[in-house]
Amino acid sequence: MRDYRKEHTIKKMAKVLKVSRSGYYKWFNSKENKYTKFDKTLEPEIMTIFNDSKKTYGSPRVLHKLKELGINTSRRKVSKIMSSLSLIPKWNGPIKMT
């Protein structure tokens, strides 16, 4: 919408895209705060740890690895970031004795 503001009105674009004008202006005027910047820096670290573990680490183990790297955060934040990135750990279940 930002790129087409000179060609079309905000009202018209909001109607076509089915978003509210107030929601657009709220997004347009918002600034990235220090927390969202920190989350953005955590995302690649979490992805690397998750992929290095062959996609088996959940948020507690990823958090432990982050703390080993000197990154201090909470398990809940790690869990939310993993959810937003659709990182779901594999679980093969218990080993069956035959």
Sequence ranges of the domains in the chain: 1-30, 34-84
pLDDT of residue 74: 96
Distance from C-alpha of 42 to C-alpha of 47, rounded to nearest angstrom: 9
Q: What is this structure's pTM?
A: 0.65
- Asked if 50 and 82 touch (Cβ cutoff 8 Å), the reply is yes
Helices within 1-98 (DSSP H only): 10-17, 21-29, 34-52, 59-68, 75-84
- Which CA distances in Å does 56 have to 10, 22, 69, 88? 46, 42, 19, 8
5-61 pLDDT per residue, tens = 788 888 888 888 888 989 888 888 887 788 888 889 999 999 999 999 999 999 999
54-83 pLDDT per residue, tens = 999 999 999 999 999 999 999 999 999 999
